[in-house]
Amino acid sequence: MEKIQTGTGKKLKSVSYAKWGYIFIAPFFIAYIIFTLVPQLLTIYNSFFETYRIGLQQVGPNFVGLDNYIALFQPDANGTILILKYALNTMILWIAGAVPQFVIAMLLALFFTSTRLNIKGQSFFKTVIYMPNLIMAAAFSMLFYTLFSRVGPIQALLENWGVIDHTFDFFAIRVSVRGMIALMNFLMWFGNTTIVLMAGIMGIDQSLFESATIDGANSVQVFFKVTMPLLMPIFVYCLITAMIGGIQMFDVPQVLSKGDGVPNGTTRTLVMYLNGYLKTKNLGMSGAISVIMFVITGGLGAIVYKMLSAPYKDQNRKHRERKGNVL
């Protein structure tokens, strides 16, 4: 009763629906803070401590300052700085998979969206190329492991043909293991990229393509002068998300190399390294690796974004300037 009396008059005049907006977005922010932001901050915090388990016995946490970071960059007996080696592995594995992934995806996206080609049965092909993405990475990796293992069908087939002898081991050769990982990542992700790029191309006004063709541009010119600049925002988005995924590459190499990164750690990625420390709940060292990865991801993301969108922005500015001059 009292409430109604105090509230009336004033409230009726200013009905605000803004609060509903806040209410509806709040669950995301709260979930984000609890499940992402707090763990992220804790990771950074933990990276300054010595904390791990010997069996069931907890060591630490003892504050050690930057010791974990220093330890990560300490060269081993052979003079190799392992984190750099694993970072390089990760990069090689990602690039080897991402280059064909983007080239093929771009070609397919162009074919599917081309009004001239007008490919039939598009939805069938789109489903098929997306299919590998639906398989669990670990299962896909297991499949490759079984196929190429010492007692697998491919080994047997090649032995029968006399291409290799029985001492041959796909998993003892750097190029073959890296190749398999790159191939799997490519197969799993090119469908996804194709569909996103197609959506981007279809978002471009068809009349621009038409007018370019009428002006006498060939398809290569249309692609580089019309499609690419207008697709740039979507392309950059694809590239950056793919890169973040690549830096976090884990399941495919982990399962394929049984966690060891064979041969000689050349397929061990940063997250596999991090995971190695988690065996004994070493939150200090794994936290330090996480922080370094965070910095790398952020840095690379910024560089890619700057590099790819700068000329495009430049063009826009010039275009505006030119317009201004005319006026």
Task: Name the residues that contact other proteins, by CB under 8 A.
Answer: 16, 19, 22-23, 26-27, 29-31, 34, 50, 52-57, 59, 76-78, 82, 149-151, 167, 169, 172-173, 258-260, 262-265, 276-277, 279-280, 282, 285
Nearer to other proteins, 86 or 94 (CB): 86
Cis check: omega of the bond before 61, within 30 degrees of 0: yes
Nearer to other proteins, 80 or 127 (CB): 80
The least CB distance from residue 11 to other proteins, in Å, is 12
The least CB distance from residue 159 to other proteins, in Å, is 13
Nearer to other proteins, 188 or 262 (CB): 262
The least CB distance from residue 277 to other proteins, in Å, is 6
63 beta partners? 49
The least CB distance from residue 32 to other proteins, in Å, is 11
Nearer to other proteins, 23 or 163 (CB): 23
Nearest to 249 by CA among 185, 179, 298, 187: 185
Encoding tokens for residue 146? 């079984």
CB under 8 Å to 277, separation ≥6 — which residues? 52, 285, 286, 289
DSSP state of 131: G
Nearer to other proteins, 191 or 276 (CB): 276
Nearest to 185 by CA among 149, 144, 219: 144
Please give the sequence-ordered ranges of beta strands (E in DSSP) within the chain, or none if there are none.
49-54, 57-63
Distance CA 65, CA 284 (A): 10
Encoding tokens for residue 228? 């690419």
The least CB distance from residue 167 to other proteins, in Å, is 8
